[in-house]
Structure 1
Amino acid sequence: MRSFVQSAQRVVVKVGSSSLTSAAGGLDAERLGALVRAVRPLAGGRLVLVSSGAIAAGLAPLGLSRRPRDLATLQAAASVGQSALVHQYAEAFGQSSHQVGQVLLTATDVVRRAHYRNARTALDRLLELGIVPIINENDAVATQEIRFGDNDRLAAIVAHLVSADLLVLLSDVDGVYDANPRLGPANLVREVRSDADLDGLSAKGTGTAGVGTGGMATKIDAARMAASGGVTTIVTSTARAAEALTGAEVGTVFYPTGPRRAARLLWLAHATAPMGRLHLDAGAVAAVVGRSASLLPAGVTSVDGDFSAGDPVELVDPTGRAVARGLVAFDADELPGMLGRGTAELAADLGPGYDREVVHRDDLVLLLPSR
């Protein structure tokens, strides 16, 4: 038995669309009920459920036979389907007198500092009250620029957001294999302790129902992301959820490969699409990489891209190599007149609002090991 499962105080469980829907694309009440029965022992303060299925649940009410391609129709399906999804969860958990609370997130909620604090506080309070948070991406309003991309990645971020001890990623495959088990012989990878254990794997494709956005590759990426921030992760099938959550040795375990760090920094490192680049001189690179310092205007030599304050940008050294990623404190069109100048000089010329860092060290993650 896996003792780390039984001792986990907070557990994030993610379930995909293919595990909750019928072949026709609508919600399958029996499958959802079976999932709830599997996770219910953790309800009441220990469980956070990240659930796909809103778009799939909205297909039938809108008369759609397959997942739409255009953003507007996807958002409409998500809006209709999300209420049906949460209603089903409320009924299923209600059979054991547990309440659920809907939480819809966008990437902005974990990247922007104030939003991040609010999201963490809200989730902590729901758990303190014994409520099961049902989390999904806010597909009804999210655009490409503010999307997590898939709920596996969202679950990894949420696991750090709530300081979970364990992340469990469920789908219709019972673990990570060295080949596609549906196409021929394949061996289960039982433990992953480093990227070397994943060498040679081929894991692509959506679930069997064809209604999800993530295949095994996204689960591996999410598990690696969570493990890099200190969260143990199990990848297995929804059918084996009850076994996994009682400590049975099923599925694939990704053991932690790095220390815990804030979810927003994990998101910066692994999941953001940089909106621009800041070119640094050698002194700024040494300060940022070697001394974990903030980036000041004096160390920036040029700027690429069209971004706004708060957007993620890459910090590159004089050779063009990305050394860090961070949230920039100024709009792109503000920076050219600031480059190479000290903060005191800028404050005197432009006002006190310019006496600050271009990227604060609390909003910055290194992409290269420190020297």
Structure 2
Amino acid sequence: MAAARQEAVTRQEAVAGARRIVVKVGSSSLTTASGGLDADRVDALVDVLAAVRGGGPGSGREDGDGGREIVLVSSGAIAAGLAPLGLDRRPRDLARQQAAASVGQGLLVARYTASFARYGVRVGQVLLTSDDTSRRAHYRNAYSTLDQLLGMGALPVVNENDTVATDEIRFGDNDRLAALVAHLVRADLLVLLSDVDGLYDGDPSRPGSSRIAEVRGPDDLAGVAIGSAGRAGVGTGGMVTKVEAAGIAAAAGVPVVLTSASRAADGLAGRDTGTYFHSTGRRSTGRLLWLAHASTPQGALTLDDGAVRAVVQRRTSLLPAGIAAVEGDFSAGDPVELRDTAGRAVARGLVNFDAREMPRLLGRSTRELARELGPAYEREVVHRDDLVLLHP
């Protein structure tokens, strides 16, 4: 009994102590099944977030300790654009998805702007693609924009830039985007809201299924059957993507609350609702988290056995002498996979050379290359600060 009470206090303290919170809400929690925004649902969510942000009743901080910063990652652009374009379901082809997003994104932000205005809260729109977050300069700019908005008292509304993202540079779902944004803005808490009130050990619609109140690590999920997309049919994610996102955030030191939008107030107050994922790791260099989970490799470098040992075991930079083969059409600064001779990806990194430059570098020392090609070639192909191991 004492142990259970201690766990509840730990959860409550973590939530109540969070100053900067990322909240993600899915399409099914904002729209009707046929598409189109549900104004009442949007207003209900905004009521909760405004209370939390202002530190008033229901915020979990009734002690007068002040409000908190909120970043809202909101799906719903494509779903909101269905009805205005005469579409009865989410299209499968990218072009029509982008058209729906173009119409729906304006409607979505306008609805949030009007709803938050009831509380005197300004809204700022931030649209991202994974390309914006895996490149060094873009990553810094994304952080600066979000941090500046928060510093000026605005509430950022983040979404994937569906109108321009291609299949190659998509996050794929806003759950993963939310986990990465939580790390990017150095959030103290991530709250994932959907149409299901937490993670269950079976189908929640069937008798005998029980809610999993807390997850302390991957072992707690062994043998748990995790469902797919929600009932509304207008989103791309399901419980699988939420659990994966929770794992990304928790491993990066950010605890997670997973619950339904209808119980958002309880989740943000630290009450026993949904599923609480304890943080399992420490905060890492932000760019490396993006590199591991948000980037799409534009090519691959095959390493000889010695280079694999150097990169994986000794955590060194990758030099041209250890590269046996090159695949893909990439530019300097692009993410690439580093593979062993069996073809297994062992790491991912940002390459310092264009693909067309690589053939003449393979297997050669940096000193030799500098003598023949100039001092610009006396450097690593992938620096260890721009490299993340996939199988540490």
Q: TM-score, normalised by structure 2?
A: 0.90
For the pair 1:246 / 2:307, whether they are aligned, the reply is no
SS in 1 for 2:313: helix
For the pair 1:65 / 2:75, whether they are aligned, the reply is no
User: Does the aligned pair in 2 maintain the 1:161–1:262 contact within 8 Å?
Assistant: no
Partner residue in 2 for 1:4: 14
1:208-263 deviations in Å (ceiling 9; x for gaps): 21000000000000000111111101110001000111111111111111110133
Q: Which of 301, 307, 313 does residue 278 from structure 1 map onto?
A: 301
SS in 2 for 1:323: strand
CA distance in 1, matches of 2:331, 2:131: 13
More off after superposition, 356-365 vs 326-335: 326-335
Q: Give, as a single letter, the amino acid of the residue that structure 2 aligns with 1:88.
A: R
Stretches of structure 1 that go unaligned for 5 or more consecutive residues are: none
After superposition, residues 127-138 of structure 1 pair within 5 angstroms as 127-138=150-161
Partner residue in 2 for 1:357: 380
SS in 2 for 1:61: helix
Q: Which of 226, 232, 240 does residue 217 from structure 1 map onto?
A: 240
After superposition, residues 28-43 of structure 1 pair within 5 angstroms as 28-43=38-53
Shift of residue 276, structure 1, vs aligned partner: 2.8
For the pair 1:90 / 2:113, whether they are aligned, the reply is yes
CA distance in 2, matches of 1:319, 1:118: 38
| Residue-pair matches, total | 369
Shift of residue 271, structure 1, vs aligned partner: 4.0
User: Does the aligned pair in 2 maintain the 1:288–1:294 contact within 8 Å?
Assistant: yes
What is the root-mean-square deviation of aligned Cα atoms in Å?
1.6
CA distance in 1, matches of 2:125, 2:38: 19
SS in 2 for 1:231: coil
User: Does the aligned pair in 2 maintain the 1:16–1:170 contact within 8 Å?
Assistant: yes
1:251-285 deviations in Å (ceiling 9; x for gaps): 11111111101333113223444333212223322
Q: Which of 147, 158, 163 does residue 186 from structure 2 map onto?
A: 163
Partner residue in 1 for 2:27: 17
Q: Give, as a single letter, the amino acid of the residue that structure 2 aligns with 1:189.
A: I
Q: TM-score, normalised by structure 1?
A: 0.95
CA distance in 1, matches of 2:351, 2:372: 21
User: Does the aligned pair in 2 maintain the 1:21–1:28 contact within 8 Å?
Assistant: yes
User: Does the aligned pair in 2 maintain the 1:152–1:222 contact within 8 Å?
Assistant: yes
Q: Give, as a single letter, the amino acid of the residue that structure 2 aligns with 1:199.
A: A
Shift of residue 340, structure 1, vs aligned partner: 1.4
For the pair 1:347 / 2:357, whether they are aligned, the reply is no
User: Does the aligned pair in 2 maintain the 1:43–1:130 contact within 8 Å?
Assistant: no
CA distance in 2, matches of 1:36, 1:11: 14
CA distance in 2, matches of 1:359, 1:183: 51
For the pair 1:269 / 2:279, whether they are aligned, the reply is no
After superposition, residues 297-316 of structure 1 pair within 5 angstroms as 297-316=320-339
Partner residue in 2 for 1:124: 147
Q: Give, as a single letter, the amino acid of the residue that structure 2 aligns with 1:106.
A: T
Q: Give, as a single letter, the amino acid of the residue that structure 2 aligns with 1:5.
A: V
For the pair 1:79 / 2:89, whether they are aligned, the reply is no
CA distance in 2, matches of 1:239, 1:169: 12
Q: Give, as a single letter, the amino acid of the residue that structure 1 aligns with 2:347.
A: A
After superposition, residues 140-151 of structure 1 pair within 5 angstroms as 140-151=163-174
User: Does the aligned pair in 2 maintain the 1:207–1:215 contact within 8 Å?
Assistant: yes
Identity value in percent = 63
CA distance in 1, matches of 2:91, 2:161: 17
Partner residue in 1 for 2:175: 152
After superposition, residues 304-343 of structure 1 pair within 5 angstroms as 304-343=327-366
User: Does the aligned pair in 1 maintain the 2:28–2:233 contact within 8 Å?
Assistant: yes
CA distance in 1, matches of 2:246, 2:322: 36
Shift of residue 108, structure 1, vs aligned partner: 1.2
Shift of residue 319, structure 1, vs aligned partner: 4.2
CA distance in 1, matches of 2:207, 2:387: 45
User: Does the aligned pair in 1 maintain the 2:347–2:387 contact within 8 Å?
Assistant: yes
Q: Give, as a single letter, the amino acid of the residue that structure 2 aligns with 1:249.
A: D
Partner residue in 2 for 1:108: 131
CA distance in 2, matches of 1:195, 1:231: 15
Q: Give, as a single letter, the amino acid of the residue that structure 2 aligns with 1:55.
A: I
Shift of residue 337, structure 1, vs aligned partner: 0.9
Q: Which of 136, 139, 161 does residue 162 from structure 2 map onto?
A: 139
Shift of residue 135, structure 1, vs aligned partner: 0.2
For the pair 1:203 / 2:203, whether they are aligned, the reply is no
Q: Give, as a single letter, the amino acid of the residue that structure 2 aligns with 1:95.
A: R
User: Does the aligned pair in 2 maintain the 1:175–1:237 contact within 8 Å?
Assistant: yes
